[in-house]
A and B are shown apart, each in its own frame.
Chain A
Amino acid sequence: MLSRAADSLYWMSRYMERAEHTARLINVHLNTMVGQSPSAAERHWQRLFSGLRIPAPLDEKGQIHAPEPYAVIRSLTFDRANSDSLVANISAARENARQIREQLSTEMWEQINRIYLNLNQRSFDQVWNDQPHAFFREIENNTNLFQGLTGSTMMHDEGWRFIQIGGYLERAISTASLVDAHYAIYEEHKEEPLRTDEYLQWVGLLKSCSAFEAYCRTYTPTLHTGYIAEFLLLSPVLPRSLHFCADRMHQAVQQIAGITGGGRSQRLTRLTGRLQAKVRYGQIDEILADGLHTFLSDFVDQCQEVHVAIYQAYIDHQLEQEVNG
Chain B
Amino acid sequence: MAAADLIPKLGDLQEPYTNYTLDEGFMDEMFDEQGLPRPAYLPLFRRLSELPKEELGRRQSAADQAFLNQGITFTVYGNDAGTERIFPYDLLPRIITAPEWATIEQGLKQRIYALNLFLKDIYHEGKILADGVVPHDLVYSCQHFRREMRGLRTPKDIYTCVVGSDLVRLPDGSFAVLEDNLRVPSGVSYMLANRQVMKRVFPGLFGGYGVQSVDHYGQALLSTLRKLAPHGNREPTVVLLTPGVYNSAYFEHTFLARQMGIELVEGRDLAVQDGVVYMRTTGGLKRVDVIYRRIDDDFIDPLTFRADSALGVPGIFNAYRMGNVALANALGTGVADDKAIYAYVPAIIRYYLGEEPILENVETYLCEDKQQLSYVLDNLEKLVVKAVGESGGYGMLVGPHSTAEQREQFRAQILDKPRNYIAQPTLGLSRAPCFIENHVEPRHVDLRPYVLYGGSPDETTIVPGGLTRVALRRGSLVVNSSQGGGSKDTWVLEE
Contacts and interface: CB of A to CB of B under 8 A. Distances in A.
Interface of A: 1-6, 95, 98-102, 106, 109-110, 113-114, 117, 158, 256, 259-262, 264, 314-315, 317, 319-320, 322-323
Contacts of B257: 102
Contacts of B282: 1-3, 6, 158, 256, 260, 314-315
18 contacts: A2-B263, A2-B279, A4-B269, A95-B245, A98-B250, A99-B244, A99-B245, A101-B71, A101-B254, A102-B255, A102-B264, A113-B70, A262-B284, A315-B282, A317-B284, A319-B280, A320-B273, A322-B284
A199 B400 CA distance: 79
Nearest to A94: B71
Contacts of B7: none
A305 to B, nearest CB: 19
- Please name the 7 residue pairs, one residue from A and one from B, whose CB atoms are nearest each other, closest first: A101-B254, A260-B283, A102-B257, A314-B282, A102-B258, A323-B273, A102-B254
A114 B69 contact: yes
A112 to B, nearest CB: 9
B71 A2 contact: no
Q: Which of B251, B254, B279 has the most CB of A within 10 A?
A: B254
Contact of B285 (A6, A101, A323): A323
Contacts of A95: 245
Contacts of B274: 323
B322 to A, nearest CB: 16
Nearest to A265: B282
Given A98-B245, A102-B254, A320-B273, A110 B69 contact: yes
B13 interface: no
Contact of B68 (A117, A158, A259, A314): A117
Contacts of A256: 282
Contacts of A5: 263
Nearest to B70: A110
Nearest to A313: B282
Contacts of B268: 4
Nearest to B257: A102
Given A6-B282, A102-B254, A319 B69 contact: no
Nearest to B256: A102
B70 A106 contact: yes
B228 interface: no
A319 B269 contact: no
Contact of B269 (A2, A101, A264): A2
B281 interface: yes
Contact of A319 (B71, B254, B273, B283): B273
Contacts of A260: 282-284
Q: Which of B70, B258, B265, B283 has the most CB of A within 10 A?
A: B283
Contacts of B245: 95, 98-99
A261 B285 contact: no
A113 B279 CA distance: 29
Contacts of B70: 106, 109-110, 113
A315 B282 CA distance: 7
B488 to A, nearest CB: 23
A314 B283 CA distance: 7
B283 A262 contact: yes
A322 B283 contact: no
Given A4-B268, A98-B245, A102-B258, A319 B285 contact: yes
Interface string B333-374: 000000000000000000000000000000000000000000
B417 to A, nearest CB: 40
Interface string B272-313: 011000111111110000000000000000000000000000
Contacts of A3: 269, 280-282
Nearest to A158: B282
B197 to A, nearest CB: 13
A150 to B, nearest CB: 16
A113 B84 CA distance: 12
A323 B278 contact: yes
B462 interface: no
A256 to B, nearest CB: 7
B271 interface: yes
B90 interface: no
A322 B287 CA distance: 12
A145 to B, nearest CB: 14
Contacts of A323: 273-274, 278, 285
B266 interface: yes
Nearest to A260: B283
Interface in B238-267: 244-245, 250-251, 254-255, 257-258, 263-266
Given A2-B265, A319-B278, 6 more contacts: A3-B269, A3-B280, A98-B71, A98-B245, A98-B250, A260-B284
A117 to B, nearest CB: 7
A314 B257 CA distance: 22
Q: Which of A100, A264, A323 has the most CB of B within 10 A?
A: A323
A264 B283 CA distance: 9
